[in-house]
Amino acid sequence: MRLKAVVVTVLLAAAISYYVYTPLPDAIQEPWKLMLVDAGFRTCINLVGLKNQLGLDHYITWFRHSLEGSFSTLTALWGSAPPAGVVPGVKVSDVAFAGIPVRVYEPPAGGEGHLRRGLMYFHGGGWALGSAKMGAYDKMSRMISDELNTVVVSVEYRLFPEVHFPEPFLDCAAAAKHFLSPEVLAKYAVDPERVAVSGDSAGGNLAAAVAQEISTDESMSVKFSVQALIYPVLQALDFNTPSYVQNRNMPVLPRPLMVQFWLQYLGADTSLQAQLVANNHSALQHSALTPELRSRLDWTSLLTEKFKKGHAPVVVDRGARGLLKTVPGFLDARSSPLLAGPEVLAKCPRTYILTCEFDVLRDDGLMYARRLRDAGVSVASDYYPDGFHGCLSFTSWPLDFDVGRRAMRGYINWLQKNL
């Protein structure tokens, strides 16, 4: 019996090790920790797939609740983020801006006449997951509010499957315009010359799109003074940029998952995933995708040799017929801010863009930085050669990564100096 128990234990340990192990680039620090994170995500996805096949409820809804429940449990166990309102000096309140739920973080009052910074934040999660209340976002908002004397407004925009594009963008734009109104800024004692918009991943997409919207809206008397984009997703026409190809199987955001997020966001059939991976949706036959539009995301001219890495562009002559007409969101700058014209980019505020080497979205951020600079915008770029997508959300034990802590500090330091 004892021998049988030993054999079973060894076999079980081997099976778990085999399941957890994922080949990772040598530059990734703490690889086993990232493998455990990846194994957790894969387990959730596998369970979601099973539940979806059984027809129990929408897989995204179940996945979202599972993630939020996991974060709540981990927060309770590790104490990474205290309950709302108990951090010394930071007041947290859940209110609505223009009917959109937001969580507001207010630093200690600086005394009469002392105006504070303002920051509007949009969380990531593929326009389907995430919440301002989740541990990582809550912790970051508290840190920024406390350290930088900033009123942080974290927006709870609506998500898939409840809504598709353009609803999340419209939610964020409405909340932003409400926050930037002189009356609301005065209510929160925010300096109208020091208001930022920021977000990560899909939230970075929304932040970039909202910054463009506000910058070109002549009816707005107050505009964002800076935008800070953390590994933003900015285009859906080329899923074969060097970073998409290089990192197609990387945790935490492999290429198939990012393509699925895009299809869901744009209200398209997810069975089209293979077509998008092959760039069939952006074939040369599509007359709507003009040479001018193509140039706005042409990585062969927008990336430096360091990031081209010897890759060749994937351009298809004839592909998925009529797809761009069926799903017009592919060509809408509100969903793909990289497609905006130079006249729009020229009006954008001073910009910070954070990118990571091991991230399918790396080249999106690098191309946007280049296009903004070409349009005359001041751009600061932080590139992490050992970074991976989502690393900024992993700064609390036991899921803390050194690169995540460095990225967080770099982001906060930039806001400190530029906002």
CA distance 413 to 411: 5
Nearest alpha carbon to residue 119 among 146, 96, 86, 83: 146
Q: Which residues are catalytic, by number?
A: 201, 359, 389
**What letters, b where the CB count within 10 A reaches 16 and e where it falls short, cover 128-151?**
bbbbbbbbbbbbbbbbbbbebbbb
CA distance 62 to 42: 14
List the Cα angle 77/91/132 in 5-degree steps. 55
Locate 405 and state its tokens.
């802590």
**Residue whose entry in the numeric block shows the structure tokens 């006249």:** 343
Contact partners, residue 211, CB within 8 Å, separation at least 6:
197, 224, 227, 348, 349
Judged by phi (left if over 0) then psi (alpha if -120 to 50, else beta), residue 218 lies in: alpha
Contact partners, residue 290, CB within 8 Å, separation at least 6:
none
**What letters, b where the CB count within 10 A reaches 16 and e where it falls short, cover 168-178?**
bbbbbbbbbbb
Residue 372 phi/psi, 5-degree rounding, is: -65, -45
